[in-house]
Amino acid sequence: MTGAEIRGRLRQAFRTRIIPRDLPMMNAGTGSSSADMIVGGGSGHPCSACGDRIGPQDQASVAFRYPDRTVRFHGHCEELWRDERETPTPR
């Protein structure tokens, strides 16, 4: 899947609220959001952006834990997600 295709899927997921645009809120108990981001946390699961399974060789994978879901990305898909999050929503 190309970067442009992944970006299109991300935009659609933002519109339907399947993938959040924002990072998880800080953990109120500790004052830290570190428990809400897990580096290497996607192994064995599908990537929330491209849909391909994240393998053990994908060491740059990352997962973000939200109260109602966990989103997981390959490293390159997470970079596209971060970039798309900063792009203004078209009206």
Note the pTM of the prediction, 2 decimals: 0.82
Each residue's pLDDT tens digit, 14-70: 999 999 999 887 655 555 444 588 887 778 899 999 999 999 888 789 999 999 999
Rounded CA gap, 68 and 45, in Å? 17
